[in-house]
Amino acid sequence: MPETLLKVEHLNKVYESSTGNVEAIGDISFTMQRGELVCIVGPSGCGKTTLLKCIAGLLRPSAGTVELDGKIVSGPPANMALVFQEYGRSLYPWLTVRGNVELPLRHKKLSRAEKDALIDDALLAVGLDHAGGSFPWQLSGGMQQRVAIARAVAYQPEVLIMDEPFAAVDAQTRADLEDLVRSLHRERGMSILFVTHDIDESVYLGERVVVLSKSPTWVQEDLAIDLPAERDQITTRAMPRFTELRTYVYEQIQRAKRGQAVRPTS
Ligand SMILES: Nc1ncnc2c1ncn2[C@@H]1O[C@H](COP(=O)(O)OP(=O)(O)OP(=O)(O)O)[C@@H](O)[C@H]1O
């Protein structure tokens, strides 16, 4: 039986300043089930970062609520992990890979052996079991992002939030990291909310794609991705259904940019 993990209800965010108010988010509502992988796409500047900051408890909404696991989010929730685009800034250069992965575990009451087991398991999951003793600056950009993902895996969050995590890596590395995210979701049942600019990426990864309108934002489309759960970069992307879905999402974003979509009444 599906169980609601994340519930965003009538979220509204107005940035207030002496030079005038900016309504970034108009009215966003959507839910995410435990174990789902949901992608969020929308036109540039539509409010994706604002939405994620509200979900992560880093920004207080002007109206509406975010509920995680039945609790209203009013500050950064302990059962959430975040992975950002700027992996270089999220890792500590003076700590080894193991040290970086261990960092958030310091807040958990675990024995040394339990921590080591979680770190070993997370490094294995991201394919970096050989690199625990290296420093971040000795690794490629893609490997550094794997360290950031390993840190989130070791922490065992209820939900993993990823904000354009692969925007700064090359295409081949990006494809490998996308497959890593799919495997974390499929093999470990991780619940993942993934924000991206890339329409193909959203369709390849997601079980659902939530398309946002331009700012002040609302949910223009909540699309089920009916591709087989077993996906790979060559076969899945060559499927006629993949092309149909990406074309559909692309059209939705073009409509969003032109402000042509009609806002549903709720
Ligand atoms: N601190 C702020 N004060 C005032 N306005 C802001 C602030 N932060 C964002 N905005 C405005 O809110 C709107 C949404 O911005 P946001 O950064 O959330 O969008 P985004 O979809 O993440 O952008 P991008 O596609 O560039 O990543 C934009 O109009 C932006 O100018």
Distance 43 CA to ligand 1 centre (A): 11
Ligand 1 contacts CB of residue 47 (under 6 A):
yes
Tell me how far the alpha carbon of residue 48 lies from the centroid of ligand 1, in angstroms.
8
Q: Give the distance (Å) from ligand 1 centre to CA of residue 167.
A: 18
Does residue 2 have a pLDDT over 90?
no
Q: Which residues contact 160 (CB under 8 A, 6 or more apart)?
A: 80, 81, 82, 83, 152, 184, 190, 191, 192, 193
Ligand 1 neighbourhood includes 50 CB (under 6 angstroms): yes
Residue 88 scores a pLDDT above 90: no
Count of all residues that appear for the chain in the document: 266
Q: Is 222 in contact with 210 (CB distance < 8 Å)?
A: yes
What number does the ligand 1 atom closest to the CA of 50 have? 18
Q: Is ligand 1 within 6 A of the CB of residue 54?
A: no
Instruction: Establish whether residue 24 lines the binding site of ligand 1, counting it when its CB lies within 6 angstroms of any ligand atom.
Output: yes
Query: Is 90 exceeded by the pLDDT of residue 31?
Result: yes
Please report the pLDDT score of residue 251 as a whole number. Answer: 95
Say what percent of the chain tops pLDDT 70.
Answer: 98
Confidence band, pLDDT 50/70/90 cuts, at residue 210: very high
Distance of alpha carbon 222 from alpha carbon 207, whole angstroms: 10
pLDDT confidence of residue 19: 87
Tell me the pLDDT band of 17, cut-offs 50, 70 and 90. confident
pLDDT value, residue 266: 59
Distance from Cα 216 to the centre of ligand 1, integer Å: 10
Q: Which ipTM was obtained for this model?
A: 0.96
| Residue 40: per-residue pLDDT | 97
- Quick one: pLDDT band at residue 90, thresholds 50, 70, 90? confident
Burial code of 22-32, b = ≥16 C-beta within 10 A, e = fewer?
Answer: eebbbbbebeb
Q: Which of 18, 49, 161, 212 to mutate to test the pocket of ligand 1 (most atoms within 8 A of CB)?
A: 49
- Lowest pLDDT segment from 128-137, 237-246, 250-259: 250-259
- What is the band of 265 on the pLDDT scale with cuts at 50, 70, 90? low
Range 182-206 average pLDDT: 95
Task: Indicate whether 264 pLDDT > 80.
Answer: no
Pocket flag, ligand 1, residue 41 (CB < 6 Å) = no
**Bridge partners (DSSP) listed for residue 13:** 25
The minimum-distance atom of ligand 1 relative to the CA of 43 is: 25
Per-residue confidence (pLDDT) for residue 206, from 0 to 100: 97
- Mean pLDDT, the chain, rounded, equals 93
103 lines ligand 1 (CB under 6 A): no
Instruction: Compute, in angstroms, the gap from residue 47 CA to the centroid of ligand 1.
Output: 5
| Banded pLDDT at 148 (limits 50, 70, 90) | very high
Q: Residue 22 Cα, ligand 1 centroid: separation in angstroms?
A: 9
262 pLDDT above the threshold of 90 = no
Q: Using the predicted structure, report yes or no on whether residue 74 has a pLDDT greater than 70.
A: yes
Question: Residues 107-132: what's their mean pLDDT?
Answer: 94
CA–CA separation, 217 vs 15, rounded Å? 13
Average pLDDT on 57-68 reads 96
State the average pLDDT over residues 197-221.
Answer: 94
Query: Of 53-57, 85-89, 109-113, where does mean pLDDT reach its minimum?
Result: 85-89
Is residue 262 within 8 A of residue 220, CB to CB? The reply is no
Q: How far is the CA of 24 from the centre of ligand 1 (A)?
A: 6
Asked if residue 27 has pLDDT above 80, the reply is yes
